[in-house]
Amino acid sequence: MGNNVIIQPTTNREEAKIEIIPAIDLKDGRCVRLYQGDYTQETVFSDDPVEVALRWQSMGATNLHIVDLDGAADGVPGNLEIITEIAHTVLIPTQLGGGIRSMKTIGIVLKAGVERVILGTAAVENHKLVQEACHNFGDSIIVGIDAREGCVAIRGWKLDTDLKATELAKSMIELGVKRFIYTDISRDGTLTEPNFSGVFELVNSINLPVIAAGGISSLDHLKMLKKLGVEGAIVGKALYTGNINLKQALDTIDY
């Protein structure tokens, strides 16, 4: 389904609220953005991620999305000290993804003050872990579905699979997952536009909250995602470049 397809949202979705969630991507202790998840195409936006977190909070953010890029690539958290400092400094909830692939790591991250943990690679490779995590931690567990051309990619987006995004979501629901983040890798960090058709397909295939990410670069994109019925929209590069002003977006989008 291409983005030129006319999508007709339902009335109740048009009236739904949407949470605008700033992204803080960490690599080597700094706040960066990658282009389409490519670790060789990195732009550093700040050497002080805690200051960035406080800035988004001061502008009205109600949640922060943190990605440990080193953790995603290596399989274990690589920026835990800074993540802990952010979680303890801000007054708003945080959610973290990247390198969380064991019950021990989930426990460490939650004890560090992070409210919600995102499982990506583990959701594909270790269903038992997902089931146990959902049983023990309930709503604190989110599954991140990172897709390239409709199929899931794992291990820091470096390994492609043949698994469809909707198939993964449905298998996760059976394990107790109650919330998803959908990221279109080809749009991420590009300032183009979200994969609206991919978001639409996932939202309509499951009856659970979906948070959209990748390519969001204007207020119109946020308005369209709201109509599609997503629970939240993760905005990264557009906030750092000024394409989207967070305060203006929060004032404009009736979230």
Most distant pair of Cα atoms in the chain: their distance: 46
Q: Coil, strand or helix: which one is 21?
A: strand
- Tell me the backbone φ, ψ of residue 139, rounded to 5 degrees: -70, -5
Q: What is the mean pLDDT of each run of 10 residues along the chain (255 residues)?
A: 47 67 96 79 90 98 96 91 98 97 97 97 96 98 94 87 96 98 89 94 96 96 96 96 96 78
d(CA 205, CA 84): 35
What integer pLDDT is reported at residue 14 of this predicted model?
Answer: 45
Residue 27 lies in a domain: yes
The catalytically annotated residue of 70, 146, 184, 188 is 146
Residue 179 lies in a domain: yes
d(CA 95, CA 130): 17
Active site residue 25: yes
pTM of the predicted model as reported, rounded to 2 decimal places: 0.90
**CB-count burial class (<10 Å; 0-12, 13-18, 19+) for 191:** middle
Residue 6 lies in a domain: no
Q: Which range marks the domain in which residue 141 is found?
A: 18-252
What integer pLDDT is reported at residue 186 of this predicted model?
Answer: 87
Q: Are 231 and 179 in contact (CB under 8 A)?
A: yes
Counted domains in the chain: 1
What integer pLDDT is reported at residue 83 of this predicted model?
Answer: 98
What integer pLDDT is reported at residue 254 of this predicted model?
Answer: 66
What integer pLDDT is reported at residue 2 of this predicted model?
Answer: 46
Active site residue 28: no
Residue 44 lies in a domain: yes
The catalytically annotated residue of 25, 70, 184, 188 is 25
Residue 9 lies in a domain: no
Can you give the CATH number for the domain in which 166 is found? Answer: 3.20.20.70
